[in-house]
Amino acid sequence: MGRGNVDLEEEQKVLLFLPNGFEALEASAFTDVFGWNQVVGDKRTPLITAGIRPLLRCTWNFTVQPEKQLEDLDLSEFAALAMPGGFQRAGFYEDGYDERTLSLIRHFASHDKWIASVCVGALPIAKSGVLSGLKSTTYHLEGGRWQAQLEAMGTEVERDLRLVEDGKVITSSCPSTAVEVAFRLLERLTSTENVRKVRVEMGYSESSIF
C-alpha cells in the first residue's frame, strides 16, 4: 500500500465536503486530525469545509455554516476530498446524490487525487461511478443493506473489513472508524513518520488499529 506520488515539500490542501444531514462525529474526525497536523505535524494540510448550501443541518439537528460554497472553489488547489456519511432521514442523500456532488467526486478521481469517506459516505462515491471495479465498504449493520446498495453500484464490497483502501479511494464501515480514516488520509498525503507524531500528540497509539 503506497502513498502515491506525494511531494513532501508541497502543500496538500484537503476539501471536506459536507452534504446536508451529515454526521458531525465523522466530519470532526477530519477537522481535528488535519487541524492537529497544522499545529504539531508538518503543517502542510490545510482543510477547507464546503457545501452546496450556505447553512447545513447535521444528522442530530444542529446547524453548521461551511467556510465555502462548492461553486466558489478552485478545485485545482486541493490534493484530496473527504466526505462524512449521514442519515437518510436527515436528508443526507439529497446533497450526497446531487449531480454537483457527483461531479465533484468524479473531478478528484479523474485528476488522480485521494478520496476518503466514512460509513455511508461511500455511497455517493459509488453513485458517481468512481468505485466501479474497486473494492470498498460501507455501514455493515442492519443486515448489511447499505453494503448491498453499494455492491449494486458496481463495487466489490469487503464486508468484514472496517477500512478499505483501493487505488486512491478510502472507505470505511461505520462512525467509529472516522478518526482512523482521517489518519490514513493524512498518512497518504504526508508520511508515516508525520502521522505517528500527530497520533501520539493526540493521545492515540502510534500505529493504526486496522
pLDDT at 206: 85
pLDDT tens, residue by residue, 26-64: 999 999 999 999 999 999 999 999 999 999 999 999 999
Which distant-in-sequence residues (6+ apart) come within 8 Å of 83 by Cβ?
16, 17, 19, 105, 115, 116, 117, 118, 121, 124, 125
Report the chain's mean pLDDT, rounded to a whole number.
95
pLDDT tens, residue by residue, 67-114: 999 999 999 999 999 999 999 999 999 999 999 999 999 999 999 999
Q: How confident is the model at residue 2 (pLDDT cuts 50, 70, 90)?
A: very low
119 secondary structure, DSSP code: G
What domains appear along the chain, each with residue ranges and CATH number?
Answer: 13-201 (3.40.50.880)
3-state SS assignment for residue 168: coil
Q: Which residues of 4-26 are buried (b: 16+ CB within 10 A; e: fewer)?
A: eebeeeeebbbbbbbbbbbbbbb
Q: How confident is the model at residue 201 (pLDDT cuts 50, 70, 90)?
A: very high
